[in-house]
Structure 1
Amino acid sequence: MSDVQIRQMRDFLDIYNKISEKCFNHCVYTMGYRELTEKESRCVDLCATKFLYGGQSIMKTYVEIQPQITERRIQEMNKMMEDAAMKS
């Protein structure tokens, strides 16, 4: 595995663990049963779904604005290079 792949896996697991913890703390009320109650199960499903849709929404926005950010950075770098060339 490359360093990038390892970092991506760590990031994924970190997010997964945070979502699991938040949904568990929000939805599980009693530890008296081996299985989740129907109410707890529905709550966990809705909680996880909400996080997934939120992540998709963020990613969609990122994909839409990333080309604009990249273009702006290219323009800034070109201007810096032009300014440096004029000073030389």
Structure 2
Amino acid sequence: MDGLTAAEQREFQAVVEKRQMKDFMALYSNLVQRCFDDCINDFTSKTISAKENGCISKCVDKWLKSSERMGQRFAEQNAAMMQGGGPLAGTR
């Protein structure tokens, strides 16, 4: 980015931010759809039942925890690669 003008840097940053927002919205949409499909199955009431609400809470919690763990593993792998250990260093 050192070879870019200030205007080009701003434009590049705007493109990156737009892509990040698009990716975030895709992840959020996927989470909503997955938990809805798994937890909501009674359409005879306007409200969400206690059972459905509990299921949704567990679904979201599990997704967030797994996403956090994947992020940690990615960071660990990235750190290992930066140290020259390769992508699978320290996993055995």
- Provide TM-score, normalisation by structure 1: 0.75
Secondary structure at 1:2's aligned position in 2? Answer: helix
2:69 corresponding residue in structure 1: 57
Alignment of 1:27-42 (within 5 A): 27-42=39-54
Residues in 2 aligned to 1:51 and 1:4: alpha-carbon distance in whole angstroms: 25
Matched, 1:46 2:58: yes
Cα distance, 1:31 vs structure 2: 1.4
State which drifts further: 27-36 or 38-47: 27-36
Is 1:20 aligned to 2:32, yes or no? yes
Q: Which has the higher contact order (CA 8 A, sep 6+)?
A: 1
Q: TM-score, normalised by structure 2?
A: 0.72
Give the number of equivalent residue pairs: 73
Q: What is the rounded CA distance, in whole Å, between the counterparts of 1:7 and 1:35 in structure 2?
A: 35
Name segments (4+ residues, structure 1) moved above 2 Å.
Answer: 67-72
Q: Give per-residue Cα distances to partners, 1:8-63, cap 9 Å, x unaligned.
A: 11111101111110100110011121210000000000001100000000001111
Q: Which has the higher helix share?
A: 1
* 1: CA distance, partners of 2:16 / 2:41: 39
What is the RMSD of the two structures over their aligned residues, measured on CA atoms? 1.7
* Identity among equivalent pairs (%): 24
